[in-house]
C-alpha cells in the first residue's frame, strides 16, 4: 500500500479521489501561485483588477477551464473547478473570486444545463448559443461576469427589477446591478432579468461595449478589493436575442434543481483559509521574520485549534462535492448550506486566530495577513447563499414542512 504524505495545512480527506487530470490542473495554477501572491498586495492597495493574473490564466488555457473538451476547453467539472478555485484563492482572493464569475457561466451553460436533461428543442437552443459563447472565450479571450445582485432580495429568483423588453432582433435592457465583479474587465456581463409580463427569469449576456451601459460609483471596499465590483446601469441597452444563453425558465430550473451552483464562490474563500494556514505555519516557524514562536505553548494551542477548524471546513466542502448532482435530496442541499456557513465563517475566524497567535508585527504591511483578514470577512455577505440566508433555511429545514426553497 502506498500513502500520500500531507502537510498539516492539507488534511488528507476527500470523498472521491481527485482524478489525475484534476491534480494536474491544480498543479498548473499552483505554479502561478507565487507570482499571484506577489501581485496581490498591489491590487489590494490600488483596488485594481488583477489583469496580469488573468493574462497568465488565459495563457495556460484556463479561460476554458470548465468548457467541455469537445468545444476545445480543458473540460473540468464542478469538483475540479472547486479544487482549482481553492488553489487560486490561496494566492490571491480577488483573482479567485473574479475567476469564479467567469467560470460559473461556463459551468452553467455546460455541465449544469446538460444535467437538467432539457427537452430536445430547448437543448438545441442552448447548444447553438453556447457554441458561440465558448468559441468567443477560447478564440477571442472574452471574459464573462455575473452581475446578478440588485440589493432587493436574498433569493436567486426574486428581487429582479431589471427588465428586458422585446424589440426586433433582441431586447432592450433597463436596470441596475450592484457589486458587479469584473465591472471594468468583462467583455460580457451575464445578467438575470425579466421580460415584462412574464415571471420566468431570463439569463442573457450584455456586451460590455453596448450603448447605454455605464459603470458608476466608487470602489473602495474593506476587502476583495481587486474584484472592482462597481455598479452597472443599463439604459435601454440592446442585447441580441442570440445572447440569451438559456431558454426562458431554465434559470429557474437551475435554482430549483441544481442549487449547488450557488456555492461556487465559497471555494475562493476556502482558498483564503489555506492562505491563512500557510502564513501562520511559516510565521510561527520563524520563516518570515527569522524569529520562531513554535516553542510557545499558547501559540501551539491556537495553531492546533486552527487546524481543527480548517480541516472541518474543508472536509465538509469536499463531502458536499461528493454529492453534487441534479435534483438533490433536501438533506444534501442542507449540507451544502452548512458548508457555506462553515467556509464563510471559518475564513474570518481563522484569520482572526492567526492574528492572535502570530502577534502584532504579523499585521504590519507588507505582510499579507491583514489582507487575508479583510478578504475573508467579505464571504458571509455574498447572496443568494449568504451566511444569514443559509442559517435561515437551515433553521427551517426539518422543522417546517412545505417551505423548501433551495435558492
Ligand X SMILES: Cc1cc2nc3c(=O)[nH]c(=O)nc-3n(C[C@H](O)[C@H](O)[C@H](O)COP(=O)(O)OP(=O)(O)OC[C@H]3O[C@@H](n4cnc5c(N)ncnc54)[C@H](O)[C@@H]3O)c2cc1C
Name the residues that contact ligand X, by CB under 6 A. Answer: 101, 146-149, 151-154, 179-181, 224, 227, 229, 378, 381-383, 386, 388-389, 392
Of all residues in this chain, which one has the CB nearest to ligand X in the complex?
A: 154
Q: Which is nearer to ligand X, 296 or 405 (CB)?
A: 405
Least distance in Å: CB of 146 to ligand X? Answer: 5
For residue 90, CA distances in Å to 85, 362, 376 come to 9, 18, 11
* For residue 366, cis peptide bond before it (omega within 30 degrees of 0): yes
Least distance in Å: CB of 208 to ligand X? Answer: 14
Taking residue 16's Cβ as centre, other Cβ atoms within 10 Å add up to 11
Q: Which is nearer to ligand X, 13 or 233 (CB)?
A: 233
Least distance in Å: CB of 379 to ligand X? Answer: 8
Grid cell locating 86 = 481553492
Report CA 397 to chain centroid distance, whole Å. Answer: 25
Q: How far apart are CA 78 and CA 253, in angstroms?
A: 18
Q: How far apart are CA 283 and CA 138, in angstroms?
A: 41
Which 3-state string (H, E, C) describes 133-151? HHHHHHHHCCCEECCCCCC
Q: Which is nearer to ligand X, 176 or 281 (CB)?
A: 176
Query: For the stretch 156-168, what's the b/e string if a residue is b when 16 or more beta carbons lie within 10 angstroms of its beta carbon?
Result: bbebbebbbeeee
Using an 8 Å Cβ cutoff, are 269 and 343 in contact?
A: yes
Taking residue 252's Cβ as centre, other Cβ atoms within 10 Å add up to 19
* For residue 384, cis peptide bond before it (omega within 30 degrees of 0): yes
Grid cell locating 88 = 487560486
Q: Which is nearer to ligand X, 93 or 328 (CB)?
A: 93
Least distance in Å: CB of 92 to ligand X? Answer: 13
Least distance in Å: CB of 405 to ligand X? Answer: 11
Least distance in Å: CB of 357 to ligand X? Answer: 26
Least distance in Å: CB of 91 to ligand X? Answer: 17
Least distance in Å: CB of 224 to ligand X? Answer: 4
Q: Which is nearer to ligand X, 102 or 299 (CB)?
A: 102
Q: How far apart are CA 104 and CA 401, in angstroms?
A: 31
Q: Which is nearer to ligand X, 280 or 349 (CB)?
A: 349
Q: Which is nearer to ligand X, 25 or 145 (CB)?
A: 145
Grid cell locating 19 = 482524478
Q: Which is nearer to ligand X, 75 or 259 (CB)?
A: 259
How much helix, strand and coil, in percent to the nearest 5, is found in the chain? 55, 10, 35
Amino acid at each position: 500500500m502506498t500513502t500520500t504524505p500531507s502537510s498539516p495545512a492539507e488534511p488528507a480527506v476527500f470523498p472521491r479521489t481527485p482524478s489525475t487530470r484534476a491534480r494536474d490542473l491544480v498543479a498548473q495554477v499552483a505554479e502561478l501561485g507565487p507570482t499571484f501572491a506577489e501581485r496581490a498586495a498591489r491590487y489590494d492597495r490600488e483596488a485594481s483588477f488583477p489583469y496580469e493574473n488573468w493574462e497568465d490564466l488565459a495563457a495556460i488555457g484556463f479561460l476554458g477551464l470548465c468548457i467541455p473538451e469537445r468545444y476545445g476547453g480543458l473540460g473540468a467539472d464542478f469538483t475540479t473547478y472547486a479544487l482549482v478555485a481553492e488553489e487560486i484563492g490561496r494566492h490571491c482572493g480577488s483573482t479567485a473570486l473574479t475567476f469564479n464569475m467567469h467560470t460559473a457561466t461556463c459551468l452553467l451553460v455546460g455541465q449544469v444545463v446538460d444535467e437538467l436533461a432539457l427537452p430536445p428543442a430547448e437543448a438545441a437552443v442552448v447548444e447553438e448559443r453556447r457554441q458561440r459563447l465558448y468559441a468567443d472565450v477560447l478564440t477571442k479571450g472574452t471574459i464573462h461576469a455575473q452581475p446578478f445582485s440588485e440589493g432587493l432580495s436574498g433569493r436567486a429568483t426574486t428581487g429582479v427589477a431589471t427588465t428586458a423588453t422585446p424589440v426586433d432582433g433582441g431586447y432592450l435592457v433597463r436596470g441596475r446591478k450592484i457589486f458587479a465583479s469584473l465591472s471594468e474587465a468583462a467583455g460580457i456581463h451575464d445578467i438575470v432579468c425579466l421580460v415584462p409580463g412574464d415571471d420566468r427569469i431570463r439569463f442573457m449576456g450584455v456586451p460590455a461595449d453596448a450603448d447605454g451601459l455605464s459603470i458608476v460609483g466608487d470602489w473602495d471596499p474593506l476587502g476583495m478589493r481587486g474584484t472592482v465590483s462597481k455598479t452597472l446601469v443599463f439604459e435601454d441597452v440592446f442585447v441580441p436575442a442570440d445572447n440569451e444563453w438559456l431558454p426562458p425558465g431554465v434559470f429557474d430550473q437551475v435554482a430549483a434543481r441544481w442549487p449547488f451552483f450557488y456555492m461556487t464562490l465559497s471555494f475562493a474563500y476556502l482558498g483564503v483559509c489555506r492562505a491563512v494556514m500557510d502564513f501562520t505555519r511559516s510565521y510561527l516557524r520563524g520563516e518570515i521574520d527569522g524569529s520562531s514562536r513554535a516553542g510557545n505553548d499558547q501559540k501551539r494551542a491556537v495553531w492546533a485549534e486552527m487546524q481543527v477548524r480548517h480541516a472541518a471546513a474543508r472536509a465538509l466542502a469536499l463531502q458536499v462535492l461528493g454529492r453534487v448532482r441534479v435534483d438533490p435530496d433536501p438533506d444534501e442541499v442542507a449540507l451544502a448550506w452548512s458548508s457555506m456557513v462553515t467556509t464563510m465563517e471559518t475564513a474570518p475566524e481563522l484569520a482572526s486566530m492567526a492574528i492572535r497567535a502570530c502577534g502584532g508585527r504579523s499585521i504590519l504591511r507588507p505582510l499579507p495577513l491583514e489582507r487575508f483578514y479583510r478578504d475573508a470577512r467579505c464571504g458571509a455577505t455574498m447572496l443568494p447563499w449568504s451566511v444569514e440566508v443559509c442559517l435561515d433555511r437551515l433553521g427551517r429545514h426539518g422543522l417546517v414542512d412545505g417551505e423548501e426553497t433551495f435558492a
